[in-house]
Amino acid sequence: MEFLPIGPLAAAIIVIALAEGRPGFLAWGRRLIRWRVGWVWYAVALLLPAVLVLVTGLTTMALGASAPGLAQLTWNGLLTVFAVRLVNPLDGPRGEEPGFRGYALPLLQASRPPLVSAAILGVLVALWHLPLVLFGGLSVIGLPTTFAITFLYVWLFNRTGSSVLLTLLFHNSQGTLHDAFLRLHRSRRRPRGADLLRGRRPRGSGHCGAGPPGMAQAPRPATAVGRFSFRRRPR
């Protein structure tokens, strides 16, 4: 089902072209490449998925799975997969982030609070992945977990001044690590609860984050995580 991840990207391009034109593409593009955020946010985007996958692994072992053979993982292998997923539009991060986080959520948040917007998009993203359940590419538990992790994407997106780049890195790191550990678990037999956190993805998939619609000026760099808040950072 290679068509699935690229759908949100294609939809965003078509809708912007028809409804907003050049100004819409400029605002969208600024969100896609917004990189001037504090280094701590890069650390969050790249390392928080490792914590989530670790928690998932410990949970599955508590449910009866054997410990994965971590010796089978190599830095070269992980970095190669990470790099390929980062630029491949047929993979989840590149195909879904520009549409879900880069375009849909700013529209939702233009007239709704962040939590409400996250809930709405979480439902839409979960429904978007429903065909994967029907075709065996995603476990059923992956749908509610896709909805739940949407709120993390919203938090990261808003706290970095609407940076799709940061949510893309988060998505890519999460998918790379999850798929690597999933392969290890499958090679050793895993229980039915092994997809507790994220569910199976077809070479990556989307969750959601959000951001405000007006992007004419770059936001102030984020310098600290601070308290856990869904409120958008001032620009």
pLDDT of residue 187: 62
- Strand, coil or helix: 89: coil
Its sign, for the CA torsion 190, 196, 197, 202, is positive
Compute the distance between CA of residue 48 and CA of residue 35 in angstroms, rounded to an integer: 18
- Phi and psi torsions of 33, nearest 5°: -110, 10
Contact 138, 199 (CB under 8 A): yes
Q: For 217-228, give the DSSP string.
A: SPPPPP----S-
Burial of residue 109 (CB within 10 Å: 0-12, 13-18, 19+) is buried
Identify the CA nearest to 126 among candidates 206, 13, 45, 23. Answer: 206
pTM tops 0.85: no
CB 108 within 8 A of CB 232: no
Whole-angstrom distance, CA of residue 113 vs CA of residue 217: 22
CA nearest neighbour of 169 among 75, 33, 2, 27: 33
CA 59 and chain centroid, separation: 21
234, with CB counted inside 10 A (0-12, 13-18, 19+), is exposed
With vertex at residue 192, the alpha carbon angle to CA 152 and CA 169, rounded to the nearest 5 degrees, is 25
Per-10-residue mean pLDDT, the chain, length 235: 75 96 96 95 93 76 64 76 85 90 96 96 93 82 91 96 96 84 61 47 43 43 51 63
